[in-house]
Structure 1
Amino acid sequence: MNSETKQSSIVLTSQDDPDELAGSKLWAVYISEAEKYDKALVERWKSDMEGLLIFAGLFSASLTAFLIESYKSLTPDQNIALLTKISQQLEGSASQSLNSTLADDVSVAALACNTLWFLSFGLSLCCALVATLVQQWARDFIQRTEMRPSPIIRARIFSYLYFGLQRFGMHTTVEFIPFLLHLSLLLFFAGLVAFLLPINIVVTAVTAALFGLIAAAYIYLTLLPIFSADSPYRTPLSNAAWGIFQRLLIPFRRHRQGPSGDGESTLLDHHGKSAKNDSQIPSMVQVMVNKAVALSPKRDLRDSQAVVWTVRSLTDNFELEPFVEALPDLIRGPQGRHSAYDDMIYRLLEAQDIQLVSRIEGLLRSCNTGILAPDAESRRRISC
């Protein structure tokens, strides 16, 4: 107990050092930014785990009903087995043990079905367990980052714990949990096909076709973000598939390099790669950001569409005024005429449904109503 008190006093004394206290404002800024990112990340983990727990609970309950019915196929009816043995003895056939008879009555389909379903059930429970642990870890993270009032101590606790999350692969663990649930569903559908196989071939074929369609859609959603950075669809396997795809491109990239190294990363740059080292494979988020800001006609079109939508959504003069105030800066600045947004301005003027010029004229006429305060009226006249 004395050692803990002594250690705590040493920590607090080090934070009271005038040189340390000089960084309080700086660390306060860090805490503000860290709370925006770290807490939002942890809160998202908690909400994701709640959804997974609900789904895993419902799925496990449904799967239990199937297991109650299917496990009976592993233990054939004792009366039927006994009657079979009596019949064999009356016919004078070779003696067989009851256990051998029972073992022979268990079909391959029953074994496959129960094996797949029990594996699915185990993975579902494992997913629920890990999701519960992640919720606990997230609560602990938030609690530990708020237990000290000093901004210096809080900032260092923030950085210490966050780099701990990175060091121990917490992000990978959280992304792996949905994959467990997806794998559990995959095993369930496969077991369902095995369950229906000895019952009816038509129903089995329909179920297998549905299962194949779902599997194909899952593979498609997994691979789609690799080729379309703006795709909102992805699966827990998308990041792994992305890494494999990028590594497969490395030989082609080396083949395209010239003797002086010109053209390095040419093939990967089509996917937004900015790193020149083979070991520096960009993430899908980095690729998305690079493609979003890269200069291109498509980007100009997106900018124009976004701004047109913005003007269309501004329903009154108070919402329109800040937009009008920003227009002069798009056209001219201290260094002279700006041309980067010419295409966007032309599209705004040509859009018949928003009638930007008429709305600006209406904004200017609103200055004559006498409702605005003098300073607000003056600012609006200058803007128009």
Structure 2
Amino acid sequence: MSRSNDPEYTSDQDAAESNGAAKLGSIYVKEAEKYDKSLVESWRSDMDGMLIFAGLFSASLTAFLVESYSSLTANSADTTVQLLTQISHQLSAMANNTTYTPLAQEPFKPATSSLVCNLLWFISLGLSLACALIATLLKQWAQDFLHRANMRSSPVARARVYSYLYDGLKRFKIHVIVDLIPALLHGALFFFFAGLIAFLLPVNELMVAIVATILGLAIGTYMFLTILPLVASNSPYRTPMTNTFWKLYEQVNNAWRPMDCHQDLVTSPIENMLYEAQKPAPSRED
């Protein structure tokens, strides 16, 4: 009789395969748990910093909005002065037996600089609050991710859950959301400075020039740090817009390169850094 038909041999073989799968699952779970905890902790620390900054920034911006919002409505003091002036002229006309025809009052129109300033600042406040909301949701998603990954005690089951959930992270591009949060906050800052220029425009031209220069330097530095990883893959500097510019850069390159020269494997600055790190370099071999 063949050993493959022996029930005891088959049982021992199944037990050995089960033990092997359990050991392999334990190793996978250990590494996956270490990676996922590190990833979630980095998200949490980033989100905590974003929430603190967004809260302080929103509070400061609200103080500016309280001051600037009054310029969008008619000043009650000016309206009172106009009414008193009309009454005075009418009384004078009655005393002199003359007829006084009040001038038609034009409806109040806020200055263009006030409209632009308040528009930019309200957009900035909206972006800051959206950043805080998404950061709060992301912290909840990260906590829920770890909770669901540890719901099963079997190493094989946990390994499958870890793989399934991580595939969900990649499929629904949660990394894009992680990069979106600081991008919203950066956008809120730029809108704030642009609104500050509009706010100072009717006040003093020198102050406008100083703020505009600071804003121009900030935008220039931001764009430089965004593009630098595309030129130097080992650059430690990057911004949330780096991945977007990388995709545009790759699309332009692929449009001009022959079809057989397309590099479809390099899809992000991180993968490009790993690819460049594998190349032999005399400076790193010394």
What's the TM-score bracket when you normalise by the shorter of the two chains? 0.7 to 0.9
- 1:124 corresponds in structure 2 to 128
Instruction: Give the C-alpha shift of residue 142 in structure 1.
Output: 1.1
Say whether 1:214 aligns with 2:218: yes
Shift of 1:233: 0.7
Match of 1:184 among 184, 188, 191: 188
Q: Which amino acid aligns with 1:95?
A: A
Partner of 1:355: none
Deviation for aligned residue 1:208: 0.7
Alignment map for 1:105-124 (pairs within 5 Å): 106-124=110-128
Asked which structure has the greater RCO (Cα within 8 Å, sep 6+), the reply is 2
CA contact 2:183–2:241 (8 Å) conserved in 1: yes
Match of residue 297, structure 1, among 267, 271, 282: 282
Instruction: Name the CA distance, whole Å, in 2 between partners of 1:92 and 1:205.
Output: 46
Consecutive aligned runs of 4 or more in structure 1 exceeding 4 Å deviation: 17-22, 85-91
Show the counterpart of 1:310.
none
Contact 1:123 1:181 in 2 (8 A): yes
Q: 1:45, CA displacement in angstroms?
A: 0.7
Say whether residues 1:285 and 2:251 are aligned partners.
no
In the aligned structure 2, how far is the partner of 1:59 from the partner of 1:88?
Answer: 45
CA distance in 2, matches of 1:20, 1:67: 66
Q: 1:20 to 1:92 in 2, by over 3 A?
A: farther
Deviations 1:136-193 (A, max 9, x none): 1111111112232211221111111111111111111111111000000010000000
For 2:268, give the aligned amino acid. S
Displacement, 1:59?
Answer: 0.8
Of 195, 200, 211, the residue aligned with 1:196 is 200
8 Å contact from structure 2 (residues 266, 272) kept in 1: no
Equivalent residue for 1:95, pick from 89, 104, 112: 104
SS at match of 1:295: coil
Distance 1:234 1:88, change over 3 A: farther
Secondary structure of the residue aligned to 2:257 is helix
Report the Cα offset of residue 93 of structure 1: 5.4
Unaligned runs of 5+ in 2: 1-13, 90-99
1:81 alignment partner AA: T
**What is the CA distance between 1:36 and its match in structure 2?**
2.3
Q: For residues 338-384 of structure 1, give each alpha carbon's deviation from its aligned partner in whole angstroms, at most 9, with x where no partner exists.
A: xxxxxxxxxxxxxxxxxxxxxxxxxxxxxxxxxxxxxxxxxxxxxxx
C-alpha distance in 1, partners of 2:175/2:271? Answer: 17
Q: Is the 8 A contact 2:183 2:240 kept in 1?
A: yes
Q: 2:168 aligns with which of 164, 171, 188?
A: 164
Q: TM-score, normalization: structure 2? A: 0.85
1:235 aligns with 2:242: no
Residues 33-42 or 186-195, more deviating: 33-42
Shift of 1:52: 0.5
- Paired AA for residue 50 in structure 2: L
Checking the alignment, whether the CA contact within 8 Å between 1:85 and 1:96 is kept in structure 2 is no
* CA apart distance, 1:22: 5.1
Give CA deviations for 1:212-241 in whole Å, capped at 9, x if unaligned.
111111111111111011111110000100
Q: Does 1:84 pair with 2:86?
A: no
- 1:85 positional shift: 5.3
Shift of 1:32: 1.2
Q: 2:48 aligns with which of 47, 50, 57?
A: 50
Judged with a 3 Å threshold, the aligned counterparts in structure 2 of structure 1 residues 83 and 147 are, in CA distance, closer, same or farther, namely same
Partner of 1:202, secondary structure, is helix
Question: Does the CA contact (< 8 Å) of 2:55 and 2:132 recur in 1?
Answer: yes
Distance 2:150 2:204 in 1: 61
Q: RMSD of the TM alignment (CA)?
A: 2.1
Distance of 2:130 and 2:83 partners within structure 1: 43
Distance 1:239 1:161 in 2: 23
Aligned residue in 1 for 2:26: 28
Query: Given residue 26 of structure 1, which amino acid in structure 2 is its aligned partner?
Result: L
> TM-score, normalization: structure 1?
0.64
- Name structure 1 gaps, 5 residues minimum: 1-16, 266-274, 305-384
Preserved CA contact (<8 Å) 1:119 1:184: yes
Deviation at 1:282, TM superposition (A): 3.0
Q: Percent identity?
A: 47
In 2: Cα distance, 1:197 partner to 1:136 partner: 43
Written as runs of structure 1 = structure 2, the 5 A alignment for 1:313-352 is none
Equivalenced residue count is 261
